[in-house]
Amino acid sequence: MSKNKSEKLQKILANAGLGSRREIEKWIAAGRVSVNGSIAELGERATDKDTIRVDGRVIKIKPSDEVYTRIIAYHKPLDEVSTQKDPEGRPTVFDKLPNTKFGRWISIGRLDINTTGLLLFTNNGELAHRLMHPSYQVERKYAVRIHGQVTDEMLDNLKSGVLIDGDMCNFNYIQPGGGEGSNQWYEVGLSEGKNREVRKLWMSQGVDVSRLIRVQYGPIELPKALSRGRWMDLSEEQIKQVADLVDLEVQARKSQPKKRSTKNKNIWKKTIN
């Protein structure tokens, strides 16, 4: 955004990583946003030369040619919670993330404290909103270790649909992943990712989930070289691939970002050993 070009407030603040455009529209309607000291109205436009405040706090706005979308992949370990801060003082998935030059990190979905694997974070609020919204049907894939005897009837139920908390839920697909006796691995995919949906689906069939690892979100797989508790930047090509999935044009950083990773063996083999 140059000094001669204005853009809608919700777009400016979403690009700054404050939230989705829809969320920010609600802030504007509630009178939480001001421009140059005056309460903003829906549809109002501004430039990077204007003073924009949210809840009285000045928001630093960069010109559009300096604004870029960044996505990082994080390998979540056990015992971290997917919130910015935890009242019980437990470690969070945000603790080890790098600093951002503008905005804030937004988690694209969540993983519960006992689930490990791929978490994506972005500084683009609109992109995060679309990737999580059910209307875009972005598939998540998980490696699941099941304790208990799994029958063909159970698998048919899980693919055709089970009523969970008043909603009909199902896996897009289920593939066997090996294992012995009553401990079997499966790879499953689903497109909405409601709270603890994978665990609840299996529990509805009378079996327990003893391990759960997210191995893919949309087109992005958990990098084989990424150790637990580490993060790495997605490439410009990967970011475009993710944005195209939800029909959003973004500007990614041109230079190759640094990667924070260590070498690991194949992630699927690692999960079942």
Measured CA angle at 257 (ends 255, 258), to 5 deg? 145
Closest CA to 124 of 149, 143, 107: 107
Q: What is the pLDDT of residue 77?
A: 96
Q: Enter the pTM of the model.
A: 0.80
Contact 206, 151 (CB under 8 A): no
Element (H, E) at 216: strand 208-217
Label residues 164-174 b or e (16+ Cβ within 10 Å = b).
beeeebbbeeb
Q: What is the pLDDT of residue 18?
A: 81
Q: Active-site residue numbers?
A: 112
Identity of the amino acid at 221? E
| Residue 173, phi-psi category: left (phi > 0), alpha (psi -120 to 50), beta (remainder) | beta
How many Å apart are CA 47 and CA 63, to the nearest integer?
8
Q: What is the pLDDT of residue 262?
A: 39
Strand 167-169 with 162-164, pairing? antiparallel
How many Å apart are CA 48 and CA 108, to the nearest integer?
27
Paired tokens of 208: 């327990």
**Burial tier of 108 (Cβ tally within 10 Å: 0-12, 13-18, 19+):** buried
Q: Helices H, strands E: what count in the chain?
A: 7, 17
How many Å apart are CA 29 and CA 32, to the nearest integer?
8
DSSP state of 69: B
Q: Which residue segments constitute the domains of the chain, with CATH numbers given?
A: 7-66 (3.10.290.10), 71-134+219-272 (3.30.2350.10), 139-217 (3.30.2350.10)
Q: What are the pLDDT tens digits along the chain (273 aa)?
A: 444 478 889 888 887 778 788 889 999 999 999 999 999 999 899 988 899 999 999 988 877 667 789 999 999 999 999 988 889 999 999 999 998 876 789 999 999 999 999 999 999 888 998 999 989 999 999 999 999 899 999 999 999 999 998 889 999 999 998 877 778 999 999 998 788 899 999 999 999 999 999 999 999 999 999 999 999 999 999 999 999 999 998 888 765 445 444 344 344 444 554
Closest CA to 71 of 243, 245, 191, 230: 243
How many Å apart are CA 55 and CA 127, to the nearest integer?
23
